[in-house]
Amino acid sequence: MAPERKFAAPLEAVAADGRFCGYASLFGRMDLSGDVVMPGAFARTLRLRGARGVRMLLEHDPRAPVGVWLRLEEDRRGLWVEGRIAGSADAARAGALMRAGRLDGLSIGFRTVGADEDRLARVRRLTEIDLWEVSLVASPMLPEARARAAGRGRAEAGGVAPEAAVDAGLVALLRRETAILRQTR
């Protein structure tokens, strides 16, 4: 009997020349810490710093720069990134891990400038972010934030079945209802 497959085979995460792309953040999606990035949150940072002013790191380690961002922009779905791995032993290791399908997560490092917090639902809506870096990571806080080889379309790079996405509004409602139920006991 053949083994059961639960997930499709991963797409190649980096091109032969080290280029890759993907969504580092998706708007309206709750990450594993309860943060939801709102449209426009990156606008000021991108205007002031541009792609070259945001570092590319490995696992958020400031001692492990692994390349350069060629393009960072907000679109209707989130923060789209295009970058190139280059320049160090850490970069060579990251590229090898990406080619092997072992490293394809993207994660943002930032300082919160503006946010609305719903403490009852334990949700923080980030309205303005001072973006410092975007890291290549094995396990992103937003599971849908993934890298793909350069040249793949945005829909393919950020493609997640709608039913698999974490709906921030639904999670907030469930947390609120759970909190109310706990108070009535």
Query: For 115-151, how does the pLDDT look when each residue is reduced to its tens digit (9 = 90+)?
Result: 999 988 889 999 999 999 999 999 999 999 999 887 6
Task: Give the span between the Cα atoms of 46 and 71, in whole angstroms.
Answer: 10
Contact 30, 170 (CB under 8 A): no
Structure tokens at 61: 């380690």
CA 89 to centroid of chain Cα atoms: 24
Task: Give the span between the Cα atoms of 12 and 100, in whole angstroms.
Answer: 8
| Active-site position among 25, 33, 59, 60 | 60
Task: Give the span between the Cα atoms of 14 and 36, in whole angstroms.
Answer: 27
- Could you tell me the maximum CA-CA distance found in the chain, to the nearest angstrom? 60
State which CATH number among 1.25.40, 3.90.380, 3.20.16, 3.30.200 fits the domain covering 19-183.
3.20.16
CA 114 to centroid of chain Cα atoms: 19
Task: Record the pTM.
Answer: 0.77
Structure tokens at 40: 């426009």
| Active-site position among 25, 74, 107, 135 | 107
Q: Is 133 a catalytic residue?
A: yes
Residue with tokens 């973006």: 131
* Domain definitions of the chain by residue range: 19-183
pLDDT in tens, 47-90: 999 999 999 999 999 999 999 999 999 999 999 999 999 888 88
Q: Is 33 a catalytic residue?
A: no
| Active-site position among 25, 74, 133, 135 | 133
Q: For the residues 20-25, what does the mean pLDDT come to?
A: 95
The pLDDT of residue 4 is 38
Contact 116, 35 (CB under 8 A): no
User: What is residue 21's DSSP assignment?
Assistant: E
Task: Check pLDDT > 70 for residue 21.
Answer: yes
Q: Is 107 a catalytic residue?
A: yes
